[in-house]
């Protein structure tokens, strides 16, 4: 890349016709926080699946399996990288984590006995729910699971092409299947919206859809809508308080747009390009230098 081309690329890191900048946490093969000026004030030296910056500034992460954590892990670290809490996965992978209002942590484990756990800060299991899904491909069992306000758990099952809401007793309160076409409409991130609808990223289907309670698609956005190939294996997502949706294109090649934001009219209002690897999940922290108002849904 020539110097001139590099300067143009760097200048286009955070592009917005409306003057938007974001600060955000990236979970992926690289884990870091990006400032609104595209500087990186914090890094974590391991690959991650899911992550949150907590209200006290600590970072909660679902760590990918590796030499130190052969079954994946959940860790909480401070800004200096000191580990404050650690849970080592007992099966193939830990695919998600969420801090709950009562102080517990919710996570899922993939493997021969896929399960959802709530653990307390001593690591003790206080809730265990078997997950109903295929057992042939552990990696493709579940992704971004979230505990809902009603006490149930919303779980995307990729290869099953099914989204299930489990009660605490393990029974299924609600489920929908993703479309048969296009192929590989695997649900990855599922967000229960305030209106009761559910926003879902469909990875290789290259779209984000919003289902009503009956499973009907009431809104969706694709590459055809935005007029560009921005959707490339969209994994992570976040619905912002203003109604816009931030989408992570995990499969985007080097120098491509890794994150973009669309409004309800399906207009792209912000993009973030990077030479870094794809973004598995994202948490928007600030917009134009100000913390987000209201609870972001992700």
| pTM of the complete model beyond 0.85 | yes
Q: Tens of pLDDT along 227-273?
A: 999 999 999 999 999 999 999 999 997 789 999 999 999 999 999 99
Question: Which residue in the block uniquely carries the two structure tokens 């081309």?
Answer: 5
**30 inside domain:** no
Residue-level pLDDT at 15: 76
**74 inside domain:** yes
What is the distance between the alpha carbons of residues 98 and 194, in angstroms, rounded to a whole number? Answer: 19
Residue-level pLDDT at 12: 46
When divided into structural domains, the chain yields a total of 1
DSSP-derived pairing of the beta strands 115-119 and 83-88: unpaired
**284 inside domain:** no
**188 inside domain:** no
For the domain that residue 52 is a member of, what is the CATH number?
2.120.10.30
pLDDT-flagged residues of the chain (< 70): 1-13, 17
Residue-level pLDDT at 255: 83
Residue-level pLDDT at 290: 94
Structural domain containing residue 71: 46-177
Residue-level pLDDT at 17: 67
**298 inside domain:** no
**Whether 41 contacts 285, CB under 8 Å:** no
- Neighbour order of strands in the sheet with 198-202: 187-192, 198-202, 207-211, 217-222
Cis ω on the peptide bond leading into residue 182 (within 30° of 0)? yes
**146 inside domain:** yes
């Amino acid at each position: 890349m020539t110097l001139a081309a590099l300067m143009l690329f760097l200048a286009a890191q955070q592009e917005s016709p409306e003057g938007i900048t974001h600060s955000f946490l990236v979970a992926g093969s690289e884990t870091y926080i990006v400032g609104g000026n595209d500087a990186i004030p914090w890094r974590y030296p391991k690959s991650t699946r899911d992550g949150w910056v907590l209200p006290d500034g600590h970072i909660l992460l679902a760590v990918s399996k590796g030499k130190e954590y052969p079954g994946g892990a959940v860790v909480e670290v401070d800004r200096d990288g000191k580990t404050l809490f650690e849970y080592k996965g007992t099966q193939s992978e830990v695919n998600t984590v969420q801090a709950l209002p009562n102080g517990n942590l919710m996570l899922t484990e993939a493997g021969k006995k896929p399960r959802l756990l709530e653990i307390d800060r001593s690591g003790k299991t206080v809730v265990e729910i078997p997950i109903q899904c295929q057992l042939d491909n552990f990696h493709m069992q579940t992704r971004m699971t979230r505990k809902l306000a009603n006490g149930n758990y919303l779980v995307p099952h990729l290869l099953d092409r099914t989204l299930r809401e489990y009660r605490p007793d393990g029974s299924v309160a609600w489920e929908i299947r993703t479309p048969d076409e296009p192929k590989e409409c695997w649900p990855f991130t599922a967000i229960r919206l305030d209106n009761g609808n559910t926003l879902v990223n469909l990875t290789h289907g290259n779209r984000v859809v919003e289902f009503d309670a009956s499973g009907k698609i009431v809104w969706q956005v694709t590459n055809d809508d935005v007029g560009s190939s921005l959707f490339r294996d969209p994994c992570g997502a976040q619905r912002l308080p203003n109604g816009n949706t931030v989408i992570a294109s995990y499969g985007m090649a080097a120098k491509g747009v890794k994150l973009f934001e669309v409004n309800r009219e399906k207009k792209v209002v912000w993009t973030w390009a990077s030479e870094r690897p794809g973004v598995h999940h994202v948490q928007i922290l600030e917009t134009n230098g100000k913390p987000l108002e209201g609870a972001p849904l992700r």
